[in-house]
Amino acid sequence: MANVNPDLRKERENGTFSVEKLTNLLDGGKHVTDRRRHVERLALNEFSKGEDYNFMSRKERYISALHKTERALRCCKEYGLTKPDEVYWLWQLAFPHEASPIQLHGDMFLPTLTRQGTEEQVNKYLPLAEKYQIIGTYAQTEMGHGTFIRGLETTATYDPQTEEFILHSPTLTSLKWWPGGLGKTSNYAIVMALLYTNGKNYGMHPFMVQLRSHETHEPLPGITIGDIGPKFGFDTIDNGFVQFDHFRIPREDMLMKYSQVLKDGTYVKSTKLKKSSYGVMVLVRSMLIYYLAIQGLAPACTIAIRYSAVRRQSEQTKSQLEPQILDYQTQQYKLFPILASAYAVLFTGVKMKEIYYEVDNEIQQGHTERLPELHALSSGLKALTSSMASWCIERCRLACGGHGYSAASGFPKIYVAVTAACTYEGENTVMLLQCARYLIKTYQGASNGKKLSGSVSYLSDKVNSRSTITSEFSLKSLVDAFKHRAFRFQACGSDPEDSWNRNSVVLTKAAEAHCYYYMVSVFESVVEAVEDDAVKRVVGQLCQLFALFAIHENAGDFVQDGFISNDQMELVKWKELSLLSDIRRNAVLLVDAFDFHDEFIGSILGRFDGNVYANLFEWAKSSPLNKPEVQESYIKYLQPLLNPNKSKL
Ligand SMILES: CC(C)(COP(=O)(O)OP(=O)(O)OC[C@H]1O[C@@H](n2cnc3c(N)ncnc32)[C@H](O)[C@@H]1OP(=O)(O)O)[C@@H](O)C(=O)NCCC(=O)NCCSC(=O)/C=C/CC(=O)O
Ligand SMILES: Cc1cc2nc3c(=O)[nH]c(=O)nc-3n(C[C@H](O)[C@H](O)[C@H](O)COP(=O)(O)OP(=O)(O)OC[C@H]3O[C@@H](n4cnc5c(N)ncnc54)[C@H](O)[C@@H]3O)c2cc1C
């Protein structure tokens, strides 16, 4: 490639494996890579030019996002992109680290309609929603409650006289607050409300609610609605509020697949599916893990590692060229475990998607046995990987010095988009506790001789009391270490009822230990399945580093019961550092394998060609603050201070 920074060029000439083969592995096959690249080319034709996001106001960002939404929908139609992956690849480049104002329409509104609606309801609303004549959101969270769903206050009271539900916000804290796209964009919402009929409260149920007129888009009478204001990030989407004042909807608009209200107000529960109305959250949590890798961890370490290959700083040996900062062991220690985590989370995300669709299929056939495990695993992994991604993006930013703090780095936009995932779709602490609740119950079952399967099968296994880690550091011995730790945490858990709060810190760690064991196991199985020796070796090194970094960071968990001896822990530390130099040679190629376009990464520091300085200067000069040369406000406010006599002229 012409005009590539010489340091980056050298990195790419010095690798030990085929980047293309690794890209194919990450995509799930060559055919997928080819198709993805084709769709991305279409997207770049449409979206690669445009105003710099960094120089736009919030309102401009929202307006630009509406325009891009219309263009993206048109592109998908024009190019016949209907498969979820293909649509995603286009939208990734249309909205790099941004949310479209209609994101909740696809993420939660449609899945809730199709999973919670009757056939008639789906037949009525889905065609309109697929043509975007209905743009919906998912309105569950209220000003006063987000985590505690059973504490939500919005009511839907059935009126048998008119065969309608009356939606009402009885208190200020009952206002729906946060739903994406609710403020200005959506004209419908699936509203989660307390169902009252015949004077009895039947708990949270989903209701299809029209919010705005089809003709004028004005809010309907009885509805007060708007944007909740600027946020930590997510500037392009109008997270909103809505207040219902005895707003009436037809009885038929309660989504009635799992429970019904008859014309006379009789309530009928037609399924044993536990928490049926919570289903869409399991879907989103399960899908989120993969996106945390490719929208968070992977772009962030791509930026930091490419920049660390072109940034030269300080003097290691007299009169020598300043070294690439990627040659500092401390820089490698900052970045390579993150690189390993990006691969670990990506592989786990792929596996989680597979499991979700397997279990969802079973549920559609009426078999719900695996739902509790899916809920626990998706909750725990969502919490662990979103926390991991947030921590890693900030550490990548810190590794890039001053330019890492510039918007030109791309880090601010990536960070504020990803860190929200620690809160939405279930606040992380609460999600870990949900996972722990399941593990403790499952462990108790195993202790009574129940044979377990899936991600909890280890709880009915015999576990080694001593680690088998040797200087070979076999992946199996590393997986076994995490299995032992997870088992030990579950064994010392508590009964979910009696001392829950007093044990909840330990319980969150038990959930994390379980999820780490799961991630290392998935990573090991991916490595074992790799056919190409060179790729197997380098991905195997990342798996070793992911495991050893976590063992070292949590050494107490592994040495406390003598499972890993002090000598073995010394070996762990030695191997962790020696892996840094092993991985150094391939670091740039390992991020190149993610195959990101510069337009997606949005970072001058992380450009594929490594030409940082010239482009950083051009970018800075393009800042609107640099035109005109002297700002009018300066003349007005400061000039008089500098020239007091002049101001009298
Ligand atoms: C914290 C929760 C789960 C507590 O719910 P609650 O009804 O109080 O349950 P209990 O604690 O009484 O019993 C737990 C019981 O239920 C099972 N369970 C819980 N959730 C699910 C589920 N989703 N699927 C299946 N089963 C579930 C659990 O396994 C227990 O079973 P037992 O056998 O042990 O009894 C709940 O309040 C909750 O989920 N809170 C989080 C709220 C949340 O996630 N909100 C997201 C709103 S949408 C959003 O954020 C959108 C973001 C934008 C975007 O994504 O783009
Ligand atoms: C960017 C963004 C987009 C969102 N989009 C939507 C949307 O489209 N639709 C929607 O309905 N909602 C949406 N939400 C809301 C989101 O789902 C909630 O914010 C989330 O569920 C957390 O609930 P909360 O805000 O009530 O936090 P809280 O539960 O009040 O959390 C505050 C603190 O209390 C702690 N805490 C709470 N309960 C417990 C417990 N049982 N044990 C221990 N600690 C506890 C938490 O750990 C946390 O530290 C969005 C939020 C964000 C940030």
> Where does residue 388 fall: left (phi above 0), alpha (psi -120 to 50 degrees), or beta otherwise?
alpha
Q: What is the pLDDT of residue 196?
A: 98
Task: Give the number of the atom of ligand 1 that is nearest the alpha carbon of residue 278.
Answer: 23
Mean pLDDT of 167-194: 98
DSSP state of 218: P
Residues with a catalytic annotation lie at 425
pLDDT above 50 (res 649): no
pLDDT tier for residue 1 given thresholds of 50, 70 and 90: low
pTM above 0.95, yes or no: yes
Q: How confident is the model at residue 495 (pLDDT cuts 50, 70, 90)?
A: low
425 Cα nearest atom in ligand 2: 17
* 485, pLDDT greater than 50: yes
Tokens encoding 628: 């005109």
Q: Has 385 been labeled as part of a binding site?
A: no
Amino acid in position 27: D
For the record, the structure tokens of 407 come out as: 């918007």
* Phi, psi of 511, deg, nearest 5: -65, -40
CA nearest to 120, candidates 267, 276, 250: 250
Confidence (pLDDT) at 643: 78
For 627, other C-beta atoms within 10 Å of its C-beta total: 9
> 322 in helix, strand or coil?
coil
pLDDT category of residue 461 using cuts at 50, 70 and 90: confident
Residues with CB under 6 A from ligand 1: 103-104, 107, 138, 140-141, 146-150, 180, 274-275, 278, 281-282, 284, 371-372, 375, 424-426, 430, 434, 437-438, 441
Per-residue pLDDT for 582 more than 90? yes
As a whole number, the mean pLDDT across the chain is 95
Give the residue, by CA position, lying nearest to ligand 2 atom 33: 427
DSSP readout, 10-27? HHHHS-SS-HHHHHHHHH
Question: Cα separation of 553 and 176, whole Å?
Answer: 41
Q: What's the pLDDT score for residue 58? A: 95
Residues 6+ apart with CB under 8 A from 436: 380, 493, 504, 507, 508, 510, 511
86-107 burial, b at 16+ Cβ within 10 Å, e below that, comes to bbebbbbbbbbbbbbbbbbbbb
Residue nearest to atom 14 of ligand 1 (CA): 434
- Angle value at C-alpha 325, between 320 and 326, nearest 5 degrees: 115
Among 424, 483, 426, 423, CA closest to 459:
483
Specify the pLDDT at position 494.
59
287 closest CA partner among 179, 386, 393, 370: 386
Number of Cβ within a 10 Å radius of residue 289: 29
| Predicted local confidence at residue 646, as pLDDT | 63
- List the strands of the sheet with 240-244, edge to edge: 176-177, 240-244, 223-227
Judged by its nearest atom, the ligand closest to the C-alpha of residue 281 is 1
Q: b or e along 241-267 (b: 16 or more beta carbons within 10 Å of the residue's beta carbon)? A: bbbbeebebebebbbbbbbebeeebeb
What are the structural domain ranges in the chain?
Answer: 22-98+280-422, 135-276
Ligand 2 centre distance from Cα of residue 420 (Å): 10
Quote the DSSP letter at residue 426: S
- What is the predicted pLDDT for the residue at 316? 76
pLDDT digits (tens, 9 = 90+) for 364-413: 888 999 999 999 999 999 999 999 999 999 999 999 999 999 999 999 99
pLDDT digits (tens, 9 = 90+) for 528-539: 999 999 999 999
In DSSP notation, 519-537 reads HHHHHHHHHHH--SHHHHH
Q: Does domain 135-276 have CATH number 1.10.940.10?
A: no
ipTM of the complex: 0.98
pLDDT-derived band at 102, boundaries 50, 70, 90:
very high
Average pLDDT on 299-304 reads 98
The bound ligand whose nearest atom lies closest to the alpha carbon of 111 is 1
185 labeled binding residue: no
Percent of the chain scoring above 70 in pLDDT? 98
Which CATH number fits the domain 22-98+280-422, given the four candidates 1.20.140.10, 1.20.1250.20, 1.10.3720.10, 2.60.40.420?
1.20.140.10
Confirm whether 22-98+280-422 and 135-276 share one CATH topology.
no
